[in-house]
A and B are shown apart, each in its own frame.
Chain A
C-alpha cells in the first residue's frame, strides 16, 4: 500500500525537479500547478466523455442508479427448445452454488430459469437471488433511430446548409468591404470604419423584435434565409480582414493596375489569395458561430422541417417524455464537427482569438 502511494509521488517529484533544475527545491506552486492541470483535464473533458459513454447505453441502462461508466448490455443466449434468445443471469441456488442460467419467464418474484448447457433442467430462483450477466455493448440504435425515424437528418442537413451558405456569404461581402477599406484612400473612409466598429456594439439581442419585423416583411420567416442573412455582414470579419489586408504591399496593387487589371480582378486575383490566412480564421469563426447559433434560429424557425440541430435538440429535450438515450446520441452528433475543427485547427483558432481579442 505504502509502496503504491510512494511511487506516483516519487515520479511526480522527479518530474517537477527535472523541470525546475535551477534551485532543485519544489515550491508549493509546482505541486499546485500539476494538481490544477490534472483537475482541469478531468473537469473539461470528463463531462464530454461521460456524455459520449452514456449515449451508447440503452434506455433501460440509462435509468439505472448508480450508473455504470461503460455502456453494458445483458448477454442473451440461444437455448435449445426456445425460439427467442433468453437473458442470461448469474443465480445463487438454494444449496449455495452459483450458476449462469437463462431466464425463461418471470412470475411475480420467482424467476423460471434454465441451464443453457443442459436445457432439460429447470430452476426456480427468487429474483433477488440472481444478477444480470452483462458485457460491453454499444447501443447504436440511439444513433440510428433519431436519424431514421425522427427529423434529425433534416436538422443536420439544415444546419449544414445554414453554416456553409452563411459562411460563404460572410466571406464574400466581408472581404469586399475589407478590400474597399484597406486598399483605397477616399473621403469618408474613417467614418465608415467608425460605423463598422459601431455596429459591433449592437448585438442581435437588443434588436430582436425589429429584425424579426424586417425578416417577416421580406417573407423569410420559417426559411433558412431568415437565419443566414441577418448575421452575414459581421463587423468582426470586416475588421479582421481589413487589418490583414493593410499589410499587403501597395506596390503589388500598383503593378497590377499598370497591367490594366480591373479593380475587381485585383480584388480576387491578387488581394484575396494573399489574405487567405485571415480569411481562413474568419471562416473558422463563422462556421463556429453559425453551427452553434441558437437564440435567433429559435425565434424565426417555428416549423420542425426548418429546425437547425440546436433548435431541434432543444425542442426534443423540452418534450414531456424526455427520451434521453436519443438526446444524448444527437448531442454527440452535434458536437462531432466542432470537436474535429478543434482537433485539427486548435492552434489556428487560439492564435486568431489571441490576436484579435474576439470570438
Chain B
C-alpha cells in the first residue's frame, strides 16, 4: 500500500517536471536499447555510470594530478607545456621560515599568516559553534511548544548565501550601523569594527557561527532524539539529578554525533573563505586573510598569476583536509559501532 502511494506521488512529480524531460528520456531510449542489444545487459551499469564518472574524471581526478604537477613547475603560464619544471622549489619557498611560530620571519609571510589566521579562526569558531549547537539542540529537544518552528528559526541562516550573510552583518556593523547606534544609546563610544584586527576576527568567527550553527544543531538534535527515552525514565525513577543525567546519559550517548559535528566543522572551517572575504575583504591588512584566500589571491588576483605557488598551497591544504577526513571516517566508524 505504502509503495502504491509513493508511486502515485512519484508520478505526479514526474508530470510536474514537465514534457521536455520526458521527451529527452524518450529520444534517448532507442539508442540505449540498441546499445544494450550490442553490449549485453552485463555491461549496462557502466553505460549508466559513464557520464557521472566522466565528469568526476575531468573535473576532480585529472585536476588532482595536474595540481600536483603544477606545484612542481614555475613561471606564469597557465598551460603546463609552457611551464618550466622547478622540482620542490615552490614548496621550499612556502616553507622557508626562520621560526614557524612567527609568520613575519617567513619568506612567504602571507601564506603563514593565512595558516596562522585559519588556526585561530577554527579554534574559536569550532569550539563555540559546537557549544552553541549543543545548547540549542538540548533546548530544542525539550518538550517545548512549537518545536518545529523554533528548529526552523535556528536553521534559517544556513540557507542564506555567504554573500548575503556577509552583507547583512556588514550593514549592521558599519560605523553608522545599528550596533553602533545601540552602543551610543547606552552611553558607549562608536567602535570601528573593521579597522581593528581583533574585532574583525571576532566578527568573522561570530558571523560564520551565526550562518552555520543551524546545520550542526540539526545533526545533534537527530542524535538526541535517537537516545532511548526509557533511559531517562529509569533515571527519573531513581531520582537522579538533571545535571547527573546530562553528564552520565545524554553526553556519552551523544558523543559519536559530537565527534562527527566537530570534524565536519573543522573540515568546513579550514576552507573558510566566502563570507569573511565579503565581510572584511581579509582586512584590516591581512588580519582575517585565510588560507583559501591566500590561494585565491596568489593564483587569480595578483598581477602575476602564480599558479605554481597557489597549487603548492592547495596541496598543503589538501593534506590537512585528508587528515581531517580520515579523522571523520574514524569518528563515523565509532558511531556505527555504538
Q: Does A29 contact B (CB under 8 A)?
A: yes
A233 touches B59 (CB 8 A): yes
Task: Give the residue name and chain of the B residue nearest to A36 (CB).
Answer: B139
B7's contact among A235, A274, A347, by CB below 8 Å, is which? A274
B314 touches A44 (CB 8 A): no
Q: Given A230-B59, A338-B159, check contact A51 B171 (CB 8 Å).
A: yes
A263's contact among B44, B144, B148, B219, by CB below 8 Å, is which? B44
A208's contact among B49, B79, B296, by CB below 8 Å, is which? B296
B242's contact among A29, A37, A268, by CB below 8 Å, is which? A29
Chain A binder among B98-106, B108-116, B120-128, B316-324: B316-324
Residues of B within 8 A of A229 (CB): 55, 59
Q: Does B222 contact A (CB under 8 A)?
A: yes
B161's contact among A33, A48, A65, A310, by CB below 8 Å, is which? A310
Task: Give the residue name and chain of the B residue nearest to A55 (CB).
Answer: B171
A206 touches B161 (CB 8 A): no
Q: Given A208-B310, A334-B163, check contact A174 B136 (CB 8 Å).
A: no
Q: Does A26 contact B (CB under 8 A)?
A: no
Bound Cα distance from A267 to B49, whole angstroms: 12
Bound Cα distance from A192 to B36, whole angstroms: 21
> In angstroms, how far is the closest chain B Cβ from the Cβ of A268?
4
Q: Does A258 contact B (CB under 8 A)?
A: no
B153's contact among A44, A216, A331, by CB below 8 Å, is which? A44
B307's contact among A51, A209, A263, by CB below 8 Å, is which? A209
Bound Cα distance from A247 to B321, whole angstroms: 33
B172's contact among A47, A179, A192, A205, by CB below 8 Å, is which? A47
Bound Cα distance from A299 to B32, whole angstroms: 38
B63 touches A205 (CB 8 A): no
Q: Given A202-B64, A213-B78, A274-B7, check contact A313 B163 (CB 8 Å).
A: yes
Bound Cα distance from A196 to B61, whole angstroms: 11
Q: Given A207-B64, A268-B25, A294-B274, check contact A44 B156 (CB 8 Å).
A: yes
Q: Bits for A301-338, please: 1 = Cβ < 8 Å to B, else 0.
A: 00000000010011001100000100110010011001
B59 touches A295 (CB 8 A): no
Q: Bits for B156-182, please: 1 = Cβ < 8 Å to A, else 0.
A: 111111111001111110001110110
Residues of B within 8 A of A291 (CB): 161
Bound Cα distance from A229 to B307, whole angstroms: 22
Q: Given A176-B52, A299-B296, A359-B158, check contact A66 B171 (CB 8 Å).
A: no
A184 touches B163 (CB 8 A): no
Task: Give the residue name and chain of the B residue nearest to A317 (CB).
Answer: B167
A63 touches B176 (CB 8 A): yes
Q: Does A82 contact B (CB under 8 A)?
A: no
Bound Cα distance from A37 to B105, whole angstroms: 48
Q: Bits for B233-276, please: 1 = Cβ < 8 Å to A, else 0.
A: 00000000010000000000000000010001000000101100
Q: Does A186 contact B (CB under 8 A)?
A: yes
Q: Given A229-B55, A273-B10, A276-B14, check contact A209 B314 (CB 8 Å).
A: yes
Residues of B within 8 A of A349 (CB): 155, 159
> In angstroms, how far is the closest chain B Cβ from the Cβ of A255?
13
B32 touches A263 (CB 8 A): yes
Q: Bits for B50-62, please: 1 = Cβ < 8 Å to A, else 0.
A: 0111011011111
A180 touches B46 (CB 8 A): yes
A264 touches B218 (CB 8 A): no
Bound Cα distance from A12 to B279, whole angstroms: 39
Q: Does B300 contact A (CB under 8 A)?
A: yes
Task: Give the residue name and chain of the A residue nearest to B151 (CB).
Answer: A350
Q: Given A51-B168, A288-B159, check contact A203 B321 (CB 8 Å).
A: yes
B48 touches A341 (CB 8 A): no
Q: Does A282 contact B (CB under 8 A)?
A: no
Q: Does A280 contact B (CB under 8 A)?
A: yes
Residues of A within 8 A of B321 (CB): 201, 203, 206
Bound Cα distance from A328 to B170, whole angstroms: 11
Q: Tell me the chain A residues, 189-209 only, with Cβ under 8 Å from chain B.
A: 189, 192, 195-196, 199, 201-203, 205-209
Q: Which of B181, B300, B307 has the most CB of A within 10 A?
A: B300
A180 touches B49 (CB 8 A): yes
Bound Cα distance from A331 to B167, whole angstroms: 7
Q: Does A292 contact B (CB under 8 A)?
A: yes
Q: Does A41 contact B (CB under 8 A)?
A: yes
B45 touches A181 (CB 8 A): yes
Q: Does B337 contact A (CB under 8 A)?
A: no
A357's contact among B158, B185, B260, B278, by CB below 8 Å, is which? B260
Q: Does A232 contact B (CB under 8 A)?
A: yes
Task: Give the residue name and chain of the A residue nearest to B260 (CB).
Answer: A357
Residues of A within 8 A of B281 (CB): 318
Q: Does A214 contact B (CB under 8 A)?
A: yes
Q: Given A65-B181, A201-B325, check contact A40 B150 (CB 8 Å).
A: yes
> In angstroms, how far is the closest chain B Cβ from the Cβ of A19?
6
Q: Does A75 contact B (CB under 8 A)?
A: no
Task: Give the residue name and chain of the A residue nearest to B20 (CB).
Answer: A168
Q: Tell me the chain A residues, 210-267 only, with Cβ under 8 Å from chain B.
A: 210-214, 216-217, 229-233, 235, 238, 249, 262-265, 267
Task: Please name 17 pairs of A and B residues whose Cβ atoms are closer than 8 Å in the assembled complex, sorted by A.
Answer: A29-B142, A33-B142, A50-B168, A177-B49, A199-B60, A205-B292, A206-B317, A207-B67, A208-B295, A213-B63, A213-B78, A214-B59, A233-B60, A298-B296, A310-B162, A314-B163, A342-B159
Known A-B contacts: A202-B318, A203-B271, A353-B218. Give 12 more (CB < 8 A): A47-B169, A54-B171, A174-B52, A177-B51, A181-B49, A184-B44, A192-B53, A206-B67, A208-B314, A210-B67, A214-B66, A310-B161
